[in-house]
Structure 1
């Protein structure tokens, strides 16, 4: 079975709002970039709407190139194109993750681009604190902290070729409406909001992991660094991720992307492809169904919720990336008719499936 595809994970449209909130580009330029990334501008008016992580990655890359600012206007001064490349060339020669974090700290202290990283060792843990330029009693810029922590963690994961477990993350802003998406982006890490500081906490022993990348792999990464780091995918060990992986890759739920771009066989799409059941997934994972349910509950999840998330994210991916009709997509996802699929999709995203096709006509 393949690893869970992170390309099809969807995240809140609020991440898009944050990314474009401080741009110096004209509205026409922003709309053009959104269209290039297959994001309908109509979705910006619906707070429940979602985009795939790949769309978001493409958007960040396109905005960075257009603005020539790697922090998209969220820092005190522009972070010019190539800043990340310079940092990565320094990090690649680190001996382990601890040294890599120390070098990140020194790098941002030297360039002074709106925030610093401060490292504190406390017994068996290391706290990486992001220090932003916000004033007391003023709501801090959520983008700079969520984006900063996301890239710090992704860079460490890339360097080690593994998912570094995070013990906890503290954010200094109030809990946003899309807070549940942090579970996807940070692999189920416990997160607290409204804290006095912004910090990411690691177990100290995890930072002893060696750097397992080369200059050759770095050159590949730097060909499109923001996209590759955002959609970086290593095996997630959580039970929620294992269940999602089973549901995504189960027989009858796989989809050949090549066929999307060719003429789709009509008969193939007439048969419904129901997703795997709890019993089937539990059997594959060599667990009793009640044991799997309990382990998912311990992670704050349920089998039905994961199943709906996988259907939702797969539907968004197919609506954005394929030529399949809405009827064909509903059948592909196991719905007997289009109408129940449309109702479910509206519950998941707040808009009809057709809204995700409007970018083609923008």
Structure 2
């Protein structure tokens, strides 16, 4: 993909225009000028997967804009390497009703100068949505009643005032200190405020809340923050392999549960039965989800979940649109067929969060 001008940024501009047009028109032929064969296959596969959605789902992209921001670059002789964030804003239409999707993908691009022109040489995605995760131990404190039914014992929730969204307006009954925040058991009947969870998801979809750690693979940390903003009580056990809790970092010590920050661990926590506190119910289809519910993604189909999203809107025909992190996404169609991570083996779990805790 040569540029007629002697600036590698012009070659970058040409690349962004090319991939934007190819995705909008579902036309993989427009990618032929990408010299990086692996990336060309990667993008072709994504276009093909998206185009193969169920024809009964009339999703029609009508307008698309991509803006590239250079985060950092290094120019040395006839080579330029740049880390670039590409902000996609795409309009869809269904039954004459439009909505906007936003997504920010980060890539590392290498350009080379040939004569007086620059051309793209290679592309590497920087935020893979199918990041490999270290296996973590999982356990739950359980007890059985006289009938052999299993339930998880609730533990004392931890309330972190600095992490709260709109914290000044929140009061938790049962606080051991008698103040707005502290340790204590929550009384039954605390509602899950779905609109607050969604408002938090909308506020922080493309930047990190400074009151929390931000990770390279941030999808589950982000979703956990949204749940907490909606009123889900932390299940504080003090052990990273159990409960669902966050206290931050103390020097080099990570003070949060695996379920707070690791995709498969959160899926495991949501799937465990519990009689009280933060809990969820697995449902059969995306149509059964409400605002503030969760979708978990197993891209390899091997039972190990690698990604989580939160439902923040719906298409005109009632299918979920989701927000997510790692690849920052807002109102993205729930099936993720437009992700580099998606495969024919992809499996989903749909969790309806309890209306009361």
The TM-score with structure 1 as length reference comes to 0.26
Structure ID, larger Rg: 2
Which of structures 1 and 2 has the larger relative contact order (alpha carbons within 8 angstroms, sep 6+)?
1
Which protein has the bigger helix share? 1
Which protein has the bigger strand share? 2
